[in-house]
Each structure stands twice: as structure tokens, then as C-alpha cells.
């Protein structure tokens, strides 16, 4: 099969490799679509040496959908069969540790230990930039016939947005501030709207801020001065009860803590390169809560339901599609945000919509 093989830092080729075989609790899927995630360029550029990936050669890719073509013995007993249409998530907990038993498999105590059953597809376990994907049944979800597989490949990032909004404890009618209008920030706008947000304030710049406005957010341009003051001006000086930090800069995390209302929650998805200096006096005295979020534990099924019931429409964010063979071009379009690129699809098995 064709696969995108990373051979080193920023060194990749499309190459013929063996089609994988499933273990008992695994299936092999024919991949329909794999979207480029914001993490992928970091993995490709070697920003997490020895961790994501642990070594080379490596096949990345984790925002994917496809059709089951082969099921292992245990997977069959559990009801998985050839022809099942599925989408995947990256995390696969060991299933046995204390965190997995609490349902918090994204924080598995056996993280990184494949011999103990842990996987993280496309990060250190081989992923979905390939014609076939080997995956544990713990990391796939069935999708209804009514949903196209290309659409379903967005479930992974969209379910991260759902987790981030839920963890902010935003209540129906609450104003919410979203810092950052990259793909995750834009998806968080869609989810916040579906969950009954009051006003959605979005801070960003350029074409992506324009997109945020088109999706229904009140735009705040980073370049027009003090974001925190702008938020205060729009909220009678109070700030917003829920803040999502989707920009991943030290400045933005600090702004999030300052723009939250008293008793507010700052739900963080971005990982900054530099440690932020936090306004601790404010955080303590105004009882600001800061919540970190890792991936999408137990939110993929609800995301599928939101999509299939048309509470969320991801179409405006699906901007580009390329054959996997043209991955270099696809990555360039994604990284340089060419032609309004937001979610860029790659198609390992042909360009038809299925």
C-alpha cells in the first residue's frame, strides 16, 4: 500500500509498505480521508524529538475515517465486521490502569508503553496517512450511512473542541470568549453555538477572524489593541464566565486569565512554547479556574450525534482536498494558509466522496 513515511526531520516520501495485519482486538480499515491536524507539521518538523515519533521511519496521521476490511478475532466477537464505516481518534488507553478505569484514558498511566496496550495513533503509533490503517477497536466509532466518510474524518478535532467547551462549564446563555481562530478555535465556535452560548467573542486576525465572524462570533482583532479591554468593554466590565484558550501563546493564556469573569473558567487547549507569567493574585482572589484539556476522551460519539442531527455543520471549515500522493502540496497549503485553508483533507484511496 501507499503510505506517507517520515524518514527524519522534515524528510518524507510516499512509499510502498506492507499492508498491516490486525491483532485480536484490532481492525484494518481502508482509509477514506485523513485531515491535516495542526500537530502534524510539528511532528513532521521534529518538534517533539524521541516522543512524537519515537523514531523513524514513521507514518503519521490521526484525523481519519474509513471502512473496516478485516477484523481480528476479538474485534469480531465484539461485533465489528467488514464494511463498517468508522472514524478514528488518536488515543487508545491500556484499559487496565487507574486512569483508564475512570474513563480518563487520555491520561493513561501506561502512556507510551505499546507492550502494555497503550497506543497513540499518528503520534508514536503508526497512523492514517496510508491506504490502510490498523487500529484498536477502542479508538474507532461507527458512523451512520447518512454521513459521508470525508465529513466523519473531522470527528477527532471536533470532539476535542466539544471536550474543551464542556470543560469550560459554559451554561446555555453564557457569553464565551475564544482566543485564537485557527481550526480548533473555529470548531469551538461551532460547538459553543450548538451548546447554547450567548455571545461568542472570538479574538484573532486576518481571514480566519473573518471566518469566525461568518460563523456567528463577535470578532476582536488582536491587532486593534488590548484584547482584555475589548472584552471588558463588551461585557459591562465583567469579562466572560467561560474562556477557551486556543492560540497556544504565553500572552494569550495570560489574557485568558484576565478576561475571565469572577469565578470564571479558563479552558486551555493550546500548548505555549514559553511558560506564561500568570496573574496569580487575580486568579486566587477572583477564583479563576484554569483547566487543561488533552484530546477528546468520551466525546466522539456525542460529536457524531451533533453532526448527524445537524446541530453543527463543519462544511465551511473543509476548504481543501488532495490525493495523499500530493501530500507535500497539501502540507504547504495548510502551513501557509494558502487560499483560505483551514481543514485540508488527504485522500489515500481516491478522490471520490463516499
For the chain, the 3-state helix, strand and coil shares in percent, each to the nearest 5, are 35, 25, 40
In whole angstroms, the minimum distance from the beta carbon of 96 to Zn ion comes to 6
Residues 6+ apart with CB under 8 A from 289: 264, 265, 266
| The one among 68, 86, 97, 194 contacting Zn ion by CB under 5 A | 97
In whole angstroms, the minimum distance from the beta carbon of 179 to Zn ion comes to 19
Q: Which residue from 57, 63, 139, 2 is spatially nearest to 318, judged by alpha carbons? A: 63
Q: Report d(CA 94, CA 115) in Å as an integer.
A: 9
Residue closer to Zn ion (CB basis): 187 or 257: 187
Number of Cα atoms under 13 Å in the Cβ half of residue 310? 1
In whole angstroms, the minimum distance from the beta carbon of 160 to Zn ion comes to 7
In whole angstroms, the minimum distance from the beta carbon of 108 to Zn ion comes to 3
In whole angstroms, the minimum distance from the beta carbon of 262 to Zn ion comes to 33
Residue with CB nearest Zn ion? 37
94 lines the binding site for Zn ion (CB under 5 A) = yes
DSSP labels, 94-130: -SSSHHHHTT-GGG-TTTT-GGGT-EEBTTTB--SSB
Residue closer to Zn ion (CB basis): 80 or 111: 111
Is the CA virtual torsion 242, 247, 253, 254 positive or negative? Answer: negative
> Is the separation of the CB atoms in 8 and 134 below 8 Å?
no
In whole angstroms, the minimum distance from the beta carbon of 63 to Zn ion comes to 5
Binding positions for Zn ion, 2-41, rule CB under 5 A:
37
In whole angstroms, the minimum distance from the beta carbon of 130 to Zn ion comes to 16
Cell numbers 478475532 correspond to what residue? 73
100 lines the binding site for Zn ion (CB under 5 A) = yes
297 lines the binding site for Zn ion (CB under 5 A) = no
In whole angstroms, the minimum distance from the beta carbon of 240 to Zn ion comes to 26
Peptide bond into 57 cis (omega under 30): yes
Residue closer to Zn ion (CB basis): 110 or 267: 110
| The one among 20, 60, 66, 93 contacting Zn ion by CB under 5 A | 93
Residue closer to Zn ion (CB basis): 220 or 345: 345
Residues 6+ apart with CB under 8 A from 331: 36, 40, 41, 44
257 lines the binding site for Zn ion (CB under 5 A) = no
Q: At 154, phi and psi to the nearest 5?
A: -85, -5
Candidates 12-20, 70-78, 89-97, 209-217; binding stretch for Zn ion (CB under 5 A)? 89-97
Helix (H, G, I), strand (E, B) or coil at 179: strand
In whole angstroms, the minimum distance from the beta carbon of 39 to Zn ion comes to 5
Candidates 104-112, 246-254, 258-266, 273-281; binding stretch for Zn ion (CB under 5 A)? 104-112
Q: Report d(CA 137, CA 115) in Å as an integer.
A: 17
Residues 6+ apart with CB under 8 A from 341: 319, 320, 333, 334
Binding positions for Zn ion, 111-170, rule CB under 5 A:
none
Q: Which residue from 250, 210, 204 is spatially nearest to 227, judged by alpha carbons? A: 204
Residues in binding contact with Zn ion, number by CB under 5 A:
7
Candidates 86-94, 123-131, 185-193, 282-290; binding stretch for Zn ion (CB under 5 A)? 86-94
**N-terminal to C-terminal alpha carbon distance within the chain:** 20
In whole angstroms, the minimum distance from the beta carbon of 269 to Zn ion comes to 11
| The one among 68, 89, 108, 242 contacting Zn ion by CB under 5 A | 108
Binding positions for Zn ion, 39-78, rule CB under 5 A:
none
209 lines the binding site for Zn ion (CB under 5 A) = no
Residue closer to Zn ion (CB basis): 37 or 170: 37
Residues that bind Zn ion (CB under 5 A): 37, 93-94, 97, 100, 108, 110
Amino acid at each position: 500500500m501507499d503510505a506517507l513515511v517520515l524518514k527524519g526531520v522534515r524528510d518524507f516520501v510516499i512509499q510502498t509498505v506492507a499492508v498491516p495485519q490486525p491483532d485480536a482486538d484490532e481492525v484494518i480499515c481502508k482509509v477514506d480521508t485523513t485531515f491535516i491536524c495542526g500537530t502534524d507539521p510539528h511532528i513532521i518538523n521534529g518538534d517533539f524529538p524521541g516522543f512524537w515519533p519515537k523514531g523513524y521511519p514513521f507514518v503519521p496521521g490521526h484525523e481519519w475515517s474509513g471502512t473496516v476490511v478485516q477484523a481480528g478475532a476479538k474485534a469480531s466477537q465484539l461485533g465489528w465486521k467488514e464494511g463498517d464505516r468508522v472514524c478514528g481518534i488518536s488515543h487508545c488507553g491500556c484499559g487496565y490502569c487507574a486512569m483508564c478505569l475512570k474513563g480518563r484514558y487520555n491520561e493513561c498511566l501506561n502512556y507510551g508503553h505499546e507492550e502494555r496496550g497503550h497506543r497513540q495513533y499518528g503520534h508514536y503509533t503508526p497512523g492514517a496517512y496510508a491506504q490502510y490503517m490498523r487500529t484498536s477497536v477502542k479508538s474507532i466509532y461507527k458512523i451512520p450511512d447518512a454521513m459521508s466518510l470525508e465529513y466523519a474524518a473531522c470527528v477527532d478535532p471536533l470532539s476535542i473542541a466539544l471536550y474543551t467547551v464542556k470543560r469550560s462549564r459554559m451554561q446555555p446563555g453564557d457569553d464565551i470568549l475564544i482566543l485564537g481562530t485557527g481550526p480548533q478555535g473555529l470548531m469551538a465556535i461551532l460547538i459553543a453555538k450548538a451548546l447554547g452560548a450567548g455571545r461568542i467573542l472570538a479574538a484573532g486576525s486576518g481571514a480566519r477572524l473573518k471566518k469566525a465572524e461568518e460563523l456567528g462570533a463577535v470578532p476582536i482583532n488582536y491587532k486593534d489593541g488590548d484584547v482584555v479591554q475589548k472584552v471588558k468593554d463588551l461585557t459591562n466590565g465583567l469579562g466572560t464566565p467561560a474562556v477557551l484558550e486556543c492560540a497556544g501563546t504565553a500572552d494569550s493564556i495570560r489574557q485568558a486569565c484576565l478576561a475571565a469573569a469572577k469565578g470564571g473558567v479558563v479552558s486551555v487547549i493550546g500548548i505555549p512554547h514559553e511558560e506564561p507569567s500568570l496573574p496569580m493574585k487575580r486568579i486566587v482572589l477572583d477564583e479563576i479556574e484554569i483547566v487543561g484539556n488533552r484530546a477528546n476522551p468520551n466525546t466522539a460519539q456525542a460529536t457524531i450525534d451533533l453532526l448527524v442531527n445537524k446541530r453543527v455543520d463543519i462544511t465551511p471549515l473543509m476548504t481543501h482536498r488532495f490525493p495523499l500522493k500530493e501530500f507535500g502540496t497539501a502540507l504547504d497549503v495548510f502551513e501557509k494558509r494558502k487560499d483560505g485553508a483551514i481543514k485540508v483533507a488527504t485522500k489515500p484511496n481516491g478522490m471520490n466522496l463516499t
